[in-house]
Amino acid sequence: MNHKTGYLYSFVLALVVLVSMHSFYMPVAAPVISGISGTIMHGSTVTVSGSGFGIKAQAAPIAWDNLESGVCDNIATVGSWTATGTLGINDNHNRNQFSNFNAFRNFDGDISPWGAVNDEAAFRGGTDSRTWYVQYWFYLDSDFEFDGNINNSLGNIKILRMWSTSSASDNFYVQALCRYDTNAVVALVNQGTDWSPVVGGYTWVDEVMGYDKPAYVDNSYFGWQHYENDISTGVWHLFQFEYSDSDISTPNGVFRWWFNGKLIVDKTNVLTRNTTYTSFKRPRIVGFYDSHHATNNDGSNHFYIDDAYIDNTFARVEICSNALWSDKGQSEIQIPVSWSASSIAVNINQGSLADGSTAYLYVIDSAGVSNAVGYPITFGGSLLGHDDTPSPPSGLMVK
């Protein structure tokens, strides 16, 4: 190799490195919606056109259940469950005008429907996968009371659990504890950090929810010490979760949690796997699990659940009440029936969004990136592919 060739080789190599670095740090383009065709009404199918939607190998979710079959079993509205715990079918306290049924459990200390060691009012489904989106709506009746003792019934409630289908004992769970706080635990794997700040600009969940900063928060807790007030009785609430396992011994796992459309936890540095515990997981608890169901139970505590949805990707479509993803408000999951990088067909799920109301459609890709500004729609109106969405700032992406 002569000097000229050597210099040329060095220049090309440096250029390749620079281009590679530039490519690596390029921001991910957010989905762009250019139009929607069809009539926006509950149960109809519309087509969303645009770009940057990404690939979703299976359009339909792993499971989606609105329970409108009038039966609570392993056959979901779309897909299937592997178990439904102690849940039974119910026809009151329905969530919206289209709902005639939901599932329920009375946490009254009776263990006969499930056995002597568990009381799970929860769905379970899927096979082991790195990434999951999980959601469910739930309603606590006026007789429901959280307990102030962690060892009593309803003093330690698991509200999400991710666990392998194998015999592996490591798992991830989110829990509400003894009227004190909430936290998430990576069992048997030290996640290596606490949860603060829970989201950008906020140290603890109480601050996100509008309260003063807690005087003290235990290490590994979320600082949601007002959860009992916020999860009020007599009202339907929505939990949404994004979960992705980490690489081995690398803190790059994802955990995001929305409560009634508000992002309360947003972490992308979670360690969930190491050289000893390497398994991926699947949703083991989608609902409530009363860890100490038979201890000092105070009687009836009615819990209702509806519109549970799980999928092994973050990619999904939501229709929300607000125009900005960062403040999306009430959210209703939509059910995709086909998906490509530029076109998605969804079955419309209006949920409890009002007839004639304006709402906003969002496409979330497999990385969890959404269009920042929602595409406006009106329930009961027809759209013919026009684009009247305000343009977001150039290069903006939202997670």
Q: What is the CATH number of the domain that holds 221?
A: 2.60.120.200
Does residue 302 sit in the same domain as residue 337? no
Does residue 199 sit in the same domain as residue 140? yes
Does residue 322 sit in the same domain as residue 221? no
> What is d(CA 186, CA 172) in angstroms, rounded to the nearest whole number?
5
Please write the tens of the pLDDT for every residue from 369-390.
Answer: 999 999 999 998 766 544 444 4
Residue 3 lies in a domain: no
| Best CA proximity match to 372, nearest among 313, 320, 337, 309 | 320
Q: CA of 196: how far to CAs of 134, 146, 203, 258, 262, in Å?
A: 23, 25, 5, 16, 17
Q: What is the mean pLDDT of the chain?
A: 89
Task: Report whether pLDDT(22) > 80.
Answer: no
Please write the tens of the pLDDT for every residue from 316-363.
Answer: 999 999 999 999 999 999 999 999 999 999 999 999 999 999 999 999
Query: In terms of pLDDT, which residue wins out, 248 or 9?
Result: 248
Domain C-terminal end among 261, 278, 311: 311
Does residue 339 sit in the same domain as residue 301? no
Q: What value does the mean pLDDT take over residues 226-244?
A: 98
**What range does the domain containing 182 cover?**
63-311
| Best CA proximity match to 122, nearest among 225, 273, 239, 220 | 239
Query: In terms of pLDDT, which residue wins out, 204 or 168?
Result: 204
Dihedrals phi, psi of 229, to nearest 5 degrees: -70, -40
DSSP state of 179: T
Does residue 45 sit in the same domain as residue 163? no
Does residue 301 sit in the same domain as residue 324? no
Domain C-terminal end among 311, 338, 369: 311
| Number of residues assigned to the chain | 399
Report the pLDDT value the prediction gives residue 118, as an integer from 0 to 100: 52
Residue listed under structure tokens 């029936």:
337
Does residue 144 sit in the same domain as residue 282? yes
Domain C-terminal end among 295, 311, 327: 311
| Best CA proximity match to 211, nearest among 194, 199, 223 | 223
Task: Report whether pLDDT(33) > 90.
Answer: yes
Residue 25 lies in a domain: no
> What is d(CA 370, CA 127) in angstroms, rounded to the nearest whole number?
26
Q: What is the CATH number of the domain that holds 357?
A: 2.60.40.10
Provide the whole-model pTM: 0.89
Does residue 296 sit in the same domain as residue 319? no
Q: How many domains does the chain have?
A: 2
Does residue 268 sit in the same domain as residue 325? no
Residue 12 lies in a domain: no
Residue 15 lies in a domain: no
Does residue 307 sit in the same domain as residue 365? no
Residue 89 lies in a domain: yes
What single string gives the DSSP state of each residue in 292-331?
TTTSS--S--EEEEEEEEEESSS-EEEEESSSBGGG--SE
Identity of the amino acid at 213 = K
pLDDT tier at 293, thresholds 50, 70, 90: confident
Does residue 306 sit in the same domain as residue 318? no
Does residue 320 sit in the same domain as residue 307? no
pLDDT tier at 114, thresholds 50, 70, 90: very low
| Best CA proximity match to 141, nearest among 111, 195, 87, 104 | 104
